């Protein structure tokens, strides 16, 4: 049960073979689809980041872009978060699955034609139609924005997303189920299978039930989806990539398959039980809130196990991160995973919730999760696949610049929003006017808007890194010379 393609790949690398040349060339890989989803992912990343930047500017300059219906804060915020989830992260995940699945399953993905259908269902059906309908802001229920966090795209778009999720599961699960590795699947494949099936169920639950279930009951389901989107879609996929990239890039097999199983089962059991911690001190029954808080603390402990297991691959190999930017991205993402999860466990506690909830502290936390943890690992996975793909260019210097710009921008935003959140939280407990908390947040909101500059510059560097630099055969000879 513990052998796996990746361990083989990594094991060979350890014996001196180059990780790029040690490709399992026998199983065909859909390079065209990796590229298509890779480009779509980075387009989605930059566009969503620009939506977010406009939202950030409107905090300090409300009349920015004028008072037009399409440019109102609410609509742009929907497009920022939905774009990051569907346009950027999911595209990046899918691109990486096309790289990893043949190597993990020992079998090609289900169908190339299905792959292109999925590509268009996802990018035209979900991302572009979603953005468009949000901007059009129509009245009819089927086409109207839903005020449900993390699933604001209209119901008609949700149908396309659900279809896309189904295609994702078929495309990647079938080779895993039917391939030669089916009873020896590496943990990366577990996360892809588990997260895929779970999201196939939780997405319609979160997107539809609160539309019909009122008040506190609806909030209970909303809370579940807010957390399922992060916990059972983004987290398993990002953890899957980290479990793949760290051993493959360092050449050290995963430290313990037993620990990876513990991590997997505890995560899938406990993470879904976290949802109600978004509504602490609310009208939802207190027992439910307490259960969710307890689950949040257990989750933090589980993440320590997962991260320990992953970081053991980097032990004695930290020097590789100097030149291997994808590895550095994935490694940093794993560190962020630990930090953001422990922060999450901490802020789920009631005395902390009392102050930090509703404030910018949470916005800092969510950026640490989506940008720090998920996006850093997704970038690492995407560049890792890119480096090993024929017909691509890869520029390590630009990738390196992209890393530092994104890293510094995120640190600036995180520190800034955390302080702002504490100030807001404490001001709300004091006898001051509400507007005083807005005024006192202003300097922090300005810094947050400025932090968009290094972050977006970093993204542009990453795109440039994937379009310039040497081609595969040149990279190969270069890496062999280095080895």
Selected from 50, 108, 128, 144, the binder of another protein by CB under 8 A is: 144
Nearer to another protein, 89 or 427 (CB): 427
Selected from 93, 122, 172, 279, the binder of another protein by CB under 8 A is: 279
Report d(CA 232, CA 251) in Å as an integer: 28
Selected from 142, 322, 358, 397, the binder of another protein by CB under 8 A is: 358
Nearer to another protein, 30 or 228 (CB): 228
Binding mask 286-305 for another protein (x = CB under 8 A): -xx--xx-------------
Selected from 56, 90, 173, 452, the binder of another protein by CB under 8 A is: 173
Binding mask 310-349 for another protein (x = CB under 8 A): ----------------------------------------
Report d(CA 127, CA 247) in Å as an integer: 33
The answer for 358, left when phi > 0, alpha when psi is -120 to 50, beta otherwise, is left
Under DSSP, the state recorded for 4 is -
Report d(CA 107, CA 174) in Å as an integer: 9
Q: Is 104 in the site for another protein (CB under 8 A)?
A: no
Instruction: Kindly identify the residues of this chain, within the stretch 28-67, that bind another protein according to CB under 8 A.
Output: 58-60, 62-63, 67
Q: Is 132 in the site for another protein (CB under 8 A)?
A: no
User: Minimum Å distance from CB 466 to another protein?
Assistant: 33
Q: Is 110 in the site for another protein (CB under 8 A)?
A: no
Strand-pair partners of 393: 471
CA distances from 337 to 159, 238, 366 (A): 31, 9, 12
Q: Which two tokens stand for residue 38?
A: 């890779």
Count residues near another protein (CB under 8 A): 97
- Site stretch for another protein (CB under 8 A), options 24-32, 68-76, 158-166, 307-315: 68-76
* Tally of CB atoms within 10 A around 449: 22
User: Minimum Å distance from CB 151 to another protein?
Assistant: 11
Report d(CA 328, CA 331) in Å as an integer: 5
User: Minimum Å distance from CB 11 to another protein?
Assistant: 15
Nearer to another protein, 202 or 406 (CB): 202
- Site stretch for another protein (CB under 8 A), options 43-51, 90-98, 330-338, 352-360: 352-360
Nearer to another protein, 432 or 468 (CB): 432
CA distances from 115 to 31, 35, 195, 382 (A): 11, 12, 19, 17
Report d(CA 364, CA 360) in Å as an integer: 6
Contacts of 246 (CB under 8 A, 6+ apart): 310, 311, 313, 314, 327, 330, 331, 334
Decide if 18 contacts 476 (C-beta within 8 A): yes
Rounded to the nearest 5 degrees, what angle is found at the Cα of 225, between the Cα atoms of 222 and 227? 115
User: Minimum Å distance from CB 368 to another protein?
Assistant: 16
Instruction: Kindly identify the residues of this chain, within the stretch 365-424, that bind another protein according to CB under 8 A.
Output: none
Instruction: Kindly identify the residues of this chain, within the stretch 203-242, that bind another protein according to CB under 8 A.
Output: 205, 209-224, 226, 228, 232
- Site stretch for another protein (CB under 8 A), options 86-94, 157-165, 188-196, 390-398: 188-196
Report d(CA 126, CA 140) in Å as an integer: 18
Tokens 């052998």 identify what position?
3
Nearer to another protein, 174 or 463 (CB): 174
User: Minimum Å distance from CB 302 to another protein?
Assistant: 13
Strand-pair partners of 471: 393
Nearer to another protein, 87 or 175 (CB): 175
Selected from 50, 352, 428, 446, the binder of another protein by CB under 8 A is: 428
Helix locations, 121-186, DSSP H? 129-136, 155-178
Nearer to another protein, 280 or 383 (CB): 280
Decide if 101 contacts 175 (C-beta within 8 A): yes
Under DSSP, the state recorded for 453 is H
Q: Is 77 in the site for another protein (CB under 8 A)?
A: yes
């Amino acid at each position: 049960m513990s052998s796996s393609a990746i361990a083989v790949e990594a094991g060979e690398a350890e014996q001196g073979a180059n990780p790029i040349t040690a490709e399992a060339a026998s199983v065909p890989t859909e390079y065209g689809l990796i590229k298509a989803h890779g480009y779509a992912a980075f387009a989605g990343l930059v566009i969503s980041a620009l939506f977010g930047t406009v939202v950030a500017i409107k905090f300090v300059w409300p009349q920015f872009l004028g008072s037009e219906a399409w440019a109102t804060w609410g609509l742009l915020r929907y497009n920022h978060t939905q774009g990051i989830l569907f346009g950027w992260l999911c595209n990046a995940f899918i691109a990486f699955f096309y790289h990893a699945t043949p190597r993990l399953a020992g079998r090609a993905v289900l169908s190339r034609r299905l792959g292109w259908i999925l590509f268009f269902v996802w990018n035209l059906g979900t991302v572009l139609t979603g953005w468009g309908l949000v901007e059009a802001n129509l009245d009819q229920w089927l086409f109207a924005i839903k005020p449900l966090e993390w699933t604001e795209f209209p119901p008609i778009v949700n149908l396309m997303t659900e279809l896309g999720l189904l295609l994702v599961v078929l495309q990647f699960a079938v080779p895993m189920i039917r391939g030669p590795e089916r009873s020896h699947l590496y943990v990366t494949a577990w996360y892809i299978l588990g997260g895929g099936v779970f999201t196939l169920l939780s997405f319609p639950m979160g997107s539809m039930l609160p539309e019909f279930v009122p008040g506190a009951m609806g909030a209970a389901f909303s809370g579940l989806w807010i957390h399922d989107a992060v916990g059972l879609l983004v987290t398993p996929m990002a953890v899957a990539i980290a479990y793949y990239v760290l051993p493959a890039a360092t050449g050290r097999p995963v430290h313990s398959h037993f620990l990876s199983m513990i991590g997997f089962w505890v995560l899938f059991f406990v993470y879904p039980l976290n949802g109600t911690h978004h509504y602490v001190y609310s009208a939802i029954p207190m027992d439910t809130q307490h259960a969710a808080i307890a689950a949040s603390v257990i989750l933090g402990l589980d993440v320590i196990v997962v991260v320990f297991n992953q970081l053991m691959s980097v032990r004695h190999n930290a020097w590789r991160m100097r030149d291997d930017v994808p590895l550095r991205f994935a490694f940093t993402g794993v560190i962020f995973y630990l930090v953001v999860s422990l922060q999450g466990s901490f802020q789920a506690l009631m005395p902390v919730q009392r102050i930090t909830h509703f404030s910018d502290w949470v916005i800092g936390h969510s950026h640490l999760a989506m940008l720090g943890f998920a996006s850093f690992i997704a970038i690492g996975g995407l560049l890792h696949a890119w480096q090993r793909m024929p017909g691509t260019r890869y520029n390590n210097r630009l990738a390196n610049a992209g890393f530092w710009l994104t890293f510094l921008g995120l640190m600036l935003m995180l520190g800034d929003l955390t302080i702002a959140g504490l100030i807001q939280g404490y001001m709300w407990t004091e006898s001051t006017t509400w507007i005083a908390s807005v005024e006192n947040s202003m300097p922090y909101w300005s810094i947050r808007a400025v932090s968009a500059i290094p972050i977006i510059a970093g993204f542009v560097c990453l795109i440039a890194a994937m379009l310039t630099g040497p081609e595969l055969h040149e990279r190969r000879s270069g890496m062999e010379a280095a080895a």
